[in-house]
Each structure stands twice: as C-alpha cells, then as structure tokens.
Amino acid sequence: MVDKQSIHGEWSSRFVFILAATGSAVGLGNIWKFPYITGENGGGAFVLIYLLCIAIIGMPIMIAEIMLGRRGKQSPINTMRELAIEAQTSKVWQIIGIMGVFTGLLILSYYSVVGGWTLAYIYFMGTGTFSSVASSDTVKATFGGLVSSPEQLIMWHTIFMAMTMSLVAGGVKHGLEKGIKFLMPALVILLLVLVGYAMTLPTFAKGIHFLFYFDPSKLNTASVLVAMGHAFFTLSLGMGAIMVYGAYLPKKTSIIEATTVIVAADTVIALLAGIAIFPVVFNHGLTASAGTSLVFQSLPLSFAHISGGIIFGTIFFILLAIAAWTSALSILEPIVSWVIESLKLSRLTATIVCGVLIWALGFLSAFSFNILGDFKPLAFTNIEKFAGMNLFALFDFLTSNILLPLGGLLMAIFVGWFMRREHVADELDLPQEHILYQLWHFLLRFITPVGITIVFLHAVGLLTF
C-alpha cells in the first residue's frame, strides 16, 4: 500500500501540493470572515488565541489528515476503509469519509452561491456600478437587488460551479494543478497590490490599530470558541479535502514541514487581507460591521469614493473569487474521486454527476434570500439562535460548527488511538521517540479532542458559558 500511486495521479512536486493545500485553506473564510471576527473580538488578543488554536488543534489535525490521505492514496471513504483494515479495527471508521462526502455536498452548495456573488461584484465593480456618486443606498440596493433575484443568483452560481467543475474534470495534473499553479501566484500578487494600496491611504494606521491592538477586555469565552471554530474552517479540516490532496502527495515529502508552510501561509494571508481591508473601510468613515455586509456593502462604498478605487475594488473581488475558486476545487475533489473509484465512471462523467447534484442543491441556498426567505426549518425549536435560520444559514451552521469539528474529532481519535504507531511513524518518516512525534501524538490524543469537543458542545448549544 505504501509504495503505490493514487489512481487519480500525483502532484508533480511538494511545492505544488503546498500551493494546492494553501489554495484550499485560503478562501472566503480568510478574506471576509477572519478580518471581521478579529476586529469584533478584541484584535490582537484574539489573534493570539487564534494562533494558539491553530497550533494545538489545527496543526495536529492537518498533519493527521494529510498522513491518512497519503497512506490510503484513495478517496477519503476508501482510504478510511483500507486504513481501518490495516489497523485491524472496525470498518465503521469509513464514516469519516462518508460524512465528509455529505459535508462537502452541503458546503459547496452554499459556498458556490457566495462564490457567485464575488463574480457578480467583479462585474458590478468593473462596469462602474459603484461610481463616485454611489451612496450607501446605491450600494445597499445593489446587494439587495442581487440576492432578491433568484435568476441572477442562479446565473452566477452556475458560472462558479462550471469554473470549479472545469478544473476538477481535468484531473490532478491537467486540471487542478494547472489551475492552481496560475491562480495562487495571482492571488498573492493581487493581495500584495491591495496591501500596498492600503498603505497609501491616510487611514492605514487606523486599520492596523483596529486589527492588532491588544485589548484583552474584549476577549471572553465566546471569542475563544469563535477562534477555535474558525481555526477549523479556515484550514479546510475535517471533511476529507486535505485528506484527498494528501493522497496525491509523493512519498518523499515531509508532512510536518509541508503542514507548517501551509498553516503559516493561511495565517499570513488572513492577516494581510485584514491589513488590506480595514484602511479602505475606515477611509469612508465606516465602521467594521458584520461579515457579509463588510465585504459586499461597506467595502464597495469606500472604494467608490477613493481615487483609483474602482480599479482596486475590481482587483479585490477578483482576489476573492480566486480564493473561493481554489477552495471550491478541494471541496469537490474528494466527492468526485470517490464516485470515480466506486462507480467506475470516467473523471469527466463523475465531475458532471457530482457537480450537477451540488449545483441543484445550491438552489436551496440561492432561494433562501428570496422565494424561500420565510422558510425557517428550525422555527419549531423556539431556540432563538436556531429558529431564525434560513436554509443557507442552516447549511453553514451545520457544516462549520457541527460536521467539520466532528470529522476532525474522529480523525484525531482514529489516528491517536487506533492506528498502529509504527505505521504512523513510518508514514510521517519520524521515529516514535522523536520529540516532534511525541508532542504531536500527545496533542492529537488528548488536547485536540478535548478542544474540539468544547467547540462542538458549544455549537450545539449544550454548554452555555
């Protein structure tokens, strides 16, 4: 098992794997969610807690997930079956892969709708919808007009899904790798251009202050939990996206080193996104408001009123679309690889089957903002937090707060408690006595599962702080 290659192919190099995994990690989560939750939760103090969560939950799980993928070399479901057999334990562990497929279907169905928004905003920005006369009413009306129109939402969602499917259909080397090699450098360049632009604004210092000012008084238990949950989502952990990318990783690569680079890149890009965004937002005297409206309303309004804003605004939405696109690839790939393996379909057919299914499922999210706006599936619970959720919010909640942490928890338990240590050490190419191995194994067996359990219990509302 150890020496064979995945039937889906392999990344050409360790560098390409790092680019691909970073592409998966860096997404909508980094560019609008991270800056906003950082600001809301006390800036610097929150960043510190977030980094801690990344280090003690995110990194150990990422190492475990890549390791599982590389050892199994198949789609997450078949990888887990094979590794369960190897560990002489129950095949029930396949549930990690099965849940991952289900989670992926749900995540991509709404992620693609938001991906569609980013495309729409490239169009709006590029065609001058937000010219210098744009008022906050214009900006609100543009966003409102988009989300209230099922046809528009479906159209942009369709384009985004087609973009995602086109690269996945090309396979590991000729689709994913080709796209990622071009898109990731573009993403970094665009981000640096935007950071450079933000530095020229008079509000640059204010933006930095907002993002990094250490104010422990704003920190509470809830922000610690937010930080932990986000560490999970932002690193794409718990659903097999990183596992399947690991399956295409050549044997010679050090998983621990690669993980360190990916995690560092994801974090630096999230911080740079914050540095690029806040000076722009503050430049128009706006405050950093909630997630969705920060990027799709406050930001366009500010851009409209700064010289060069239209160009840089367009660049911003291209950046956001690329980030979402390279993440979407990694959500579709584990599902497609499984369909190829189990139904023996060609990659093209498998991509079309899975893509169309997710595309159709996406209608539910798209309709959540208009014709299904009043459909609140959990209204009967009478729990304020759940009752008001439309389908879009429910899918997001269910996947980010329940399914991803649960998947990660199961992975930590499987690797920490059920896999043979010699197999793990062999795959990591690290002797069991090595201090890094010991540290990682300890975190994975004890600290990580407890951490995730706290997030999980909080998310389902069993624990109230």
Answer whether 291's CB lies under 8 Å from 30's CB: no
User: By rule CB under 6 A, what count of residues binds ligand PHE?
Assistant: 15
Instruction: State both tokens at 396.
Output: 């997001």
The reply to whether 25 sits near ligand PHE by the rule CB under 6 A is: yes
Q: How far is CA 349 from CA 166, 168, 201, 245, 354, in A?
A: 12, 11, 50, 21, 9
The site map against ligand PHE for 61-100 (x = CB under 6 A) is ----------------------------------------
Report the residue number, 112 or 314, with the smaller CB distance to ligand PHE. Answer: 112
Task: Extract the tokens encoding 10.
Answer: 């392999």
Residue spans of alpha helices (H) in 8-94: 14-25, 28, 34-40, 44-53, 59-72, 76-86
Q: Which of 79, 129, 259, 330 binds ligand PHE (CB under 6 A)?
A: 330
The Cα 404–Cα 409 span in angstroms is 9
Residue with Cβ nearer ligand PHE (262 or 310) = 262
Q: What does the block give as tokens for 338?
A: 């499984």
Distance, C-alpha 228 to centroid of its chain: 14
Select from 19-27, 359-367, 376-384, 428-436 the region that touches ligand PHE (CB under 6 A): 19-27
CB of 25 to ligand PHE, least distance (A): 5
Identified binder of ligand PHE from the candidate list 83, 101, 153, 239, rule CB under 6 A: 239
Distance CA 302, CA 288 (A): 12
Question: Of 270 and 306, which has the nearer Cβ to ligand PHE?
Answer: 270
Residue type, 48: L
225 is a contact residue toward ligand PHE (CB under 6 A): no
Per-residue binding string, ligand PHE, 252-281, x by CB under 6 A, is: ------------------------------
| Member of 10, 17, 21, 27 binding ligand PHE (CB under 6 A) | 27
What the block records as the tokens of 340 is 């190829």
Closest C-alpha among 287, 272, 281 to residue 196 = 272
> Which span (22-30, 245-253, 410-418, 432-440) binds ligand PHE, by CB under 6 A?
22-30
285 contact partners, CB below 8 Å, separation of at least 6 = none
Least separation in angstroms between residue 299's CB and ligand PHE is: 17
Q: How far is the CB of 136 from ligand PHE (least distance, A)?
A: 27
Q: What is the chain's length?
A: 465
Which residues does residue 43 pair with via DSSP β-bridges, in sequence order? 214
Q: Which of 83, 277, 331, 455 binds ligand PHE (CB under 6 A)?
A: 331
Contacts of 9 (CB under 8 A, 6+ apart): 171, 172, 173, 248
What DSSP state is assigned to residue 228?
A: H
401 contacts ligand PHE (rule: CB under 6 A): no
Least Cβ distance, residue 244 to ligand PHE (angstroms): 10
Helix (H, G, I), strand (E, B) or coil at 224: helix
Nearer to ligand PHE, 240 or 309 (CB): 240
Least distance to ligand PHE from the beta carbon of 112, Å? 12
Rounded CA separation 313/44 (Å) = 27
The only residue of 241, 243, 288, 329 in contact with ligand PHE, by rule CB under 6 A: 241
Let me know: does 228 contact 456? Beta carbons within 8 Å.
no
Chosen residue from 110, 121, 233, 456 binding ligand PHE by CB under 6 A: 233
Q: How far is the CB of 262 from ligand PHE (least distance, A)?
A: 11
Min dist CB 403 to ligand PHE, Å, is 10
30 is an interface residue for ligand PHE by CB under 6 A: yes
Q: How far apart are CA 164 and CA 104, in angstroms?
A: 14
Residue ranges binding ligand PHE (CB under 6 A): 24-25, 27-30, 107, 233-234, 236, 239, 241, 327, 330-331
